[in-house]
Amino acid sequence: MHIMWFSERAYHFDPETQSEQHRQFENEVIRRRSFFGLPNSMCEPEHASRLLNQYLDEKLYSEELGFDGVMLNEHHGTPFCLGAVMDVEAAILAKLTKRVKIVLLGNPIPTVANPLRLAEELAMIDLIPGGRLVAGWVRGAGSEQLANNANPAYNREYLEEGIDFIIKAWTTPGPFRYEGKHFHFRFINPWVLPLQKPHPQFWIPGLVSPDTVIWCAKRRYPYIALATKLAPTVELWDLYTKIAAAEGYQAGPENFGYMQPVFVGHNQARAEALGERFMFGGGFAHFARPEWMFPPGYNSKEATRRLARLNSGPNLPGKPIHRSQGNETEEEIEAIKREIYAGYPQARKELQMIAGTPDYVTKQVRKVLEVLRPGIFSFWIDGPLSFSDRRECLRLLATEVLPAVREFADELGLEDPFARKAGSRALPADGKPAPVAQAEMLKQMAAVA
Amino acid sequence: MAQAHDAEMGITEEKISLAGGELLLLKAGKGRPLLVLHEELGFPGWLWWNRELAREHSLIAPLHPGFGRSPRREWILNVRDLAGFYLWFIREQKLAPVDVIGISFGGWVAAEMAAFAPESLRRIVLVAPLGIAPPQGHLMDMFTVTARGYLRSSVAAAQKTPEFGSLFGGSPSPEQFEAFEEARAEAARLAWQPYMYNPSLPHLLVGARHVPALVIWGQEDTVAPVGCGEIYARALPNSRLTIFESCGHRPEIEQRERFVAEVRSFLAA
């Protein structure tokens, strides 16, 4: 199993030592029902500078601790994620780390809009550390199509054509010319090419959109579910497995990854309290308002049909609240916050956050692994926490949780795509694929709960 | 050919084949043909002004390809392509020279048609047309708000506009949400950038100077500032700019009596 950890690298204040700044900042997010679009005049560059450096230090520390990979992402126009250009951070880690995989989940081809430039950046990020890049691709959030002026109605076309183009740029001897539907290049001859051949692995992160899952299964790309609820995740694993069988292969743990929000501490009550901060500002539900999450044509017709009948946001902790907005009193804002944080026990119950002592976390993570059987696993640590709390959480994860997780993984046969190439498993003789996820296990868990 | 009749207006629905696919036409009334080009959110339904003009005109309202019921043509990449498509339609249906009325986005399409084939058009009515950037400020960006939000911004005073509540079938439904999303997606494909205008249009319109044009604008229009109308009027010397006071982006429903009177007398010439 490949084990890594992730953080959004949010702009935040420590609620304990910077409580007033923290309160004002969160209240503004709540008032606007959105992290996206928070005025950048609220960003103090000195503070952002410290945060970015501390986030990079954590990544370096995690190599010392024995994680297999460091995972990065990027977001635009939001304090949710200060890593606005992930390849910049990746380049630093490429030089300063010695062993870990640099897992980029992922580069938003539609919003970057220049796949040749991406091909060159990523080739350098693979060359510098001697071939440790995992490249991932994303569509970019809806709000980011607006923030980068990327036509959302062509979003999926940009992504798919861009990936094909990057593969071509990396594998076709140059110079050559390319005239596609959306991209046109008259002279392609990048002198920096990846060290890994034919190219670094591609992993695709997502929030269980069937369109993406089907597409990944067809291309044999591992699919990484980002902290989605277990029941729909099992359904999507089954869908992937079915499509894989139609493509002539048996899906296995190497085709799947899962990201799990956690917080580990010595003391159960304190760890639970710190885990609650994952709900900060409404969490992903307040990532951006609906008009920004779903710009025109960003969703497929099928996804739009589902959305038209579903009055809720993505299935991550934090309840979307879209009542009147912008003119609430402080008391009303505090009431909305109470409503958001009231969702925490349910989030814990559904394992949307596992917070506790190393022992507790280990047991809960085992349940997730038994149900989903992923070959790639990422811990997710977020929320406004002090860097000392984060560092201690990382240390406990690495020293007290990770060894047990590796043992389960071996016991459960959870091979990662480095141990076994994704899409290389033969179908059973009768052509009927074996399920990867264990739906039965999920039922048992529900019965116990 | 699928047909459904509405007794009052003689409404029919017709499917024709054109340019590699179907095109759905809504028709009503009797008299000289009047091509009605709908707005960016789709066809809002037959309204009072349609019923009035249907007394002396045969209204032909095509549903733009890709905006919902008429299938998208992948090769229509911008509004000028769509204008070319409709010029083909006019030739195919032997309508030229035809009267055209275009609402907002539909007005932009009509203006592009005038710029390229003025001889195909007899008289044109442009109702707060998009297509030209305002001298100050911006065209309101429909892509950063919800369809409902955009709709709300389109009138100066919703409570004083009786027909506002019946636009697009009235109360929100999942089906209408989907229809709005279809229209928004196609509008984005055609006019994402630059947003809803074509820098060459005011220059090319000068060449269509002999086409009589009535340009109607609401003084309080927050979607397309009235300054756009002044540019339209300057580009088309054989035009008249009529500005409605206390009116937003929908003069056809906000001041419908005056609107119908203006259009009726213009088209009667």
Query: Residues A66-115: pLDDT tens digits?
Result: 999 999 999 999 999 999 999 999 999 999 999 999 999 999 999 999 99
Asked whether the predicted pLDDT for residue A370 surpasses 90, the reply is yes
Three-point CA angle A425, A427, A432, nearest 5°: 145
Residues of B in contact with A153 (CB under 8 A): 185-186, 188-189, 192
Burial zone of A367 (CB within 10 Å; 0-12 exposed, 13-18 middle, 19+ buried) = middle
Return the closest-CA partner of residue A295 out of A281, A278, A307, A312: A307
Residue A268 CA from chain centroid, whole number: 26
Asked whether the predicted pLDDT for residue A187 surpasses 70, the reply is yes
Inter-chain touch B192–A151, beta carbons under 8 Å: yes
Q: Give the pLDDT confidence of A257-300 residue by residue, as tens digits.
A: 999 999 999 999 999 999 999 999 998 888 898 889 999 999 98
What distance in Å separates the CA atoms of residue B205 and residue B83, rounded to the nearest whole number? Answer: 14
pLDDT of residue B206: 96
Q: Which of A294, A295, A309 sits opposite B174 (nearest CB)?
A: A309
DSSP letter string, A147-195: HTT--GGGHHHHHHHHHHHHHHHHHS-SSEEEE-SS-EEEEE--S---S
Q: Give the pLDDT confidence of B58-73 residue by residue, as tens digits.
A: 999 999 999 989 999 9
Inter-chain touch B187–A151, beta carbons under 8 Å: no
Substitution target from A304, A306, A322 for chain B, most B beta carbons within 10 A? A304
Tally the C-alpha atoms within 13 A of residue A182's C-alpha that lie toward its C-beta.
25
Q: Are B26 and B63 in contact (CB under 8 A)?
A: yes
Residue A277 is classified by DSSP as G
Q: Quote the mean pLDDT of chain A.
A: 94
Distance (Å) from the C-alpha of residue A294 to the closest C-alpha of chain B? 9
Asked whether the predicted pLDDT for residue B2 surpasses 50, the reply is no
Asked whether the predicted pLDDT for residue B98 surpasses 90, the reply is yes
pLDDT of residue A448: 74
At B4, is the pLDDT very low, low, confident or very high (cuts 50, 70, 90)?
very low
At B7, is the pLDDT very low, low, confident or very high (cuts 50, 70, 90)?
low
Q: What percent of chain A has pLDDT over 90?
A: 88
What distance in Å separates the CA atoms of residue B57 and residue A31, rounded to the nearest whole number? Answer: 52
pLDDT of residue A310: 62
Q: Which residue has 């409902």 as its token pair?
A: B148
Q: Which residue has 């080009």 as its token pair?
A: B37
Cis preceding-peptide flag for A261 (omega within 30 of 0): no
Q: What domains are defined for chain A?
A: 2-448 (3.20.20.30)
What distance in Å separates the CA atoms of residue A347 and residue A354, rounded to the nearest whole number? Answer: 9
What distance in Å separates the CA atoms of residue B120 and residue B98, rounded to the nearest whole number? Answer: 6
* Backbone phi, psi, residue A253, to 5°: -50, -30
Instruction: Please tell me which residue of chain A has the smallest CA distance to B173.
Output: A308
Residue B225 CA from chain centroid, whole number: 17
Tally the C-alpha atoms within 13 A of residue A46's C-alpha that lie toward its C-beta.
0
* Backbone phi, psi, residue B58, to 5°: -95, 105
Nearest-10 crossing angle of helices B174-191, B79-92: 100
Residues of B in contact with A152 (CB under 8 A): 143, 185, 188
Q: Give the pLDDT confidence of A219-249 residue by residue, as tens digits.
A: 999 999 999 999 999 999 999 999 999 999 9
User: Which of A125-134, B3-12, B180-189 shows the lowest per-residue confidence on average (mean pLDDT)?
Assistant: B3-12
Q: Give the pLDDT confidence of B119-132 residue by residue, as tens digits.
A: 999 999 999 999 99
Residues of A in contact with B148 (CB under 8 A): none
Asked whether the predicted pLDDT for residue B233 surpasses 80, the reply is yes
Instruction: Please tell me which residue of chain A has the smallest CA distance to B177.
Output: A308
Q: Give the pLDDT confidence of A303-340 residue by residue, as tens digits.
A: 888 878 764 433 333 344 445 567 889 999 999 999 99
Q: Which residues pair with B162 in a beta bridge?
A: none
**B77 near A CB under 8 A:** no
What distance in Å separates the CA atoms of residue A48 and residue A56, rounded to the nearest whole number? Answer: 12
Return the closest-CA partner of residue A226 out of A6, A446, A3, A2: A6
What distance in Å separates the CA atoms of residue B179 and residue B71, rounded to the nearest whole number? Answer: 13
Distances from the Cα of B174 to the Cαs of A55, A99, A258, B70, B181, in angstroms?
A: 43, 51, 32, 19, 11
Helix/strand/coil for A204: strand
When comparing pLDDT for A86 and A33, which is higher? A86
Inter-chain touch B188–A295, beta carbons under 8 Å: yes
Distance (Å) from the C-alpha of residue A320 to the closest C-alpha of chain B? 16
pLDDT of residue A316: 36
What distance in Å separates the CA atoms of residue A281 and residue A273, rounded to the nearest whole number? Answer: 16
Q: Where are the beta strands (DSSP E) in chain B?
A: 12-18, 21-28, 32-37, 57-62, 98-103, 121-127, 213-218, 239-244
> Could you tell me how many CB contacts below 8 A there are between chain A and chain B?
54
Q: Is beta strand A101-108 parallel, antiparallel or unpaired with respect to A2-6?
A: unpaired
What distance in Å separates the CA atoms of residue A12 and residue A15, rounded to the nearest whole number? Answer: 9
Q: Which residue has 């990867």 as its token pair?
A: A436
Q: What domains are defined for chain B?
A: 12-268 (3.40.50.1820)
Q: Is the dihedral of CA A285, A290, A292, A294 positive or negative?
A: positive
Q: Which residues of A touch B (CB under 8 A)?
A: 146, 149, 151-154, 290-292, 294-297, 299, 301, 304-305, 307-309
pLDDT of residue B6: 56
What distance in Å separates the CA atoms of residue A388 and residue A265, rounded to the nearest whole number? Answer: 11
Residues of A in contact with B189 (CB under 8 A): 151, 153-154, 297
Q: Quote the mean pLDDT of chain B.
A: 95
What distance in Å separates the CA atoms of residue A397 and residue A416, rounded to the nearest whole number? Answer: 20
Distances from the Cα of B144 to the Cαs of A288, B47, B192, in angstroms?
A: 12, 28, 11
Helix (H) or strand (E) segment spanning residue B175 = helix B174-191
ipTM score assigned to the predicted complex: 0.94
Asked whether the predicted pLDDT for residue B172 surpasses 90, the reply is no
Amino acid (1-letter code) at residue B126: L
Return the closest-CA partner of residue A14 out of A27, A26, A30: A26
pLDDT of residue A317: 36
Asked whether the predicted pLDDT for residue A372 surpasses 60, the reply is yes
